[in-house]
Amino acid sequence: MKAGHKIAVMSSALLVLAVGFLYPGKNVSAASEGKITGTIKLDGTAPRQRPIDMSKEPSCAKIHESNPVHMENVVAGANGALQNVVVYVSEGLTGNEASAVSSETPTWDQKGCQYIPHVMALNPNQHFKVTNSDQTSHNIHPMPKQGGPNHEWNKSQPTGAPPFDIFWTNEEIAVPVKCNIHPWMHGYMAVVKGPNAVSDASGSFTINLPPGSYTVTAWQEELGTQTQKVTVGAGKPATADFTFKAK
C-alpha cells in the first residue's frame, strides 16, 4: 500500500514536471528568437543562359525589346551570388515553428511570358495565388512526380481572367511548372515543411526559427542539394553559407 502511494506521488510529480517543461517550450516558440542567415555561392563559371526568343508571342516580345530575357536555370550574379536556391529545414523541426512559418499567400505571376518568381517555396496546404498580368492566354501546368501524392493539374488563364487560389497537399521538392503555349516558360514550386527561404539576387537568405539544432538543406534546380547542421541560439543569428560547384 505504502509503495503504491509512493509511486502515485512520484508519477504525479513527474507529470507536473513534464507539463512545466512543455509550457516554457511553447513560450519560447511564440517568441521565436532565433534565425539562420547565409549566402549561397556558385564556385566556377556560371553556365551560359540561353536567350529566349519570344517572337511567337509578340505581346511578350515587345515587353523585353530593350532587355532580352535569358533562361533561369542557374542565375548567378556578382561574385557568384546564386539566386533562386530554396533553403529549408530538413531535420530537427519540433512542430513549434508554426509562428516562424510565413502565413502569407504568395503570388505566382505570369508576366512578360515569364514566371515571377521563377522559384517559390511553400508549405503543404499553404495557399498561393496564380495571376496572369499578360495580354495573352497562359496555361499553368504543374507536373508533380508521377505516382507521387500530389496531383498534376492544368488550367487555362486567359488575359484579364481573375487570379485563382490553390495549394499543394504534400511535400515535394520541387514541382516543375510549365506553360504549353509558351514552352520557354518554366519554374518550380518547392513544397517543404516549416520555415523556408529562397535566395535573392545577392544570394542571401534568412530563415526565422526557434533556438535548436537543425539540418538545413539548400536545393538548386540544376545543381542538386547540399545540407549542413546548424545550431540556432537565442538572440544571435546562426550562419549557414552554401557553395555549389558549377557543373
Cis previous bond, 174, omega within 30 = yes
Q: Does 102 bind another protein (CB under 8 A)?
A: no
List binders of another protein among 119-158 (CB under 8 A). 136-137, 139-141, 143, 145-149, 151-158
Q: Angle 129-132-135 (CA atoms, 0-180°, nearest 5)?
A: 170
Determine the Cα–Cα distance for residues 157 and 161; give it in Å rounded to an integer. 6
- With b meaning 16 or more CB within 10 Å and e meaning fewer, what string describes 111-143? ebbbbebbbbbbbeebebebbbebebbbbbbbe
In the complex, least distance from residue 106 CB atom to another protein, rounded to whole angstroms: 19
In the complex, least distance from residue 190 CB atom to another protein, rounded to whole angstroms: 18
Residues in contact with another protein, counted by CB under 8 A, come to a total of 27
Q: Does 61 bind another protein (CB under 8 A)?
A: no
Q: Does 53 bind another protein (CB under 8 A)?
A: no
Question: Binding pattern to another protein, positions 151-190, x when CB under 8 A?
Answer: xxxxxxxx--x--x-----x---------xxxx-------
Interface residues with another protein (CB under 8 A)?
56, 136-137, 139-141, 143, 145-149, 151-158, 161, 164, 170, 180-183
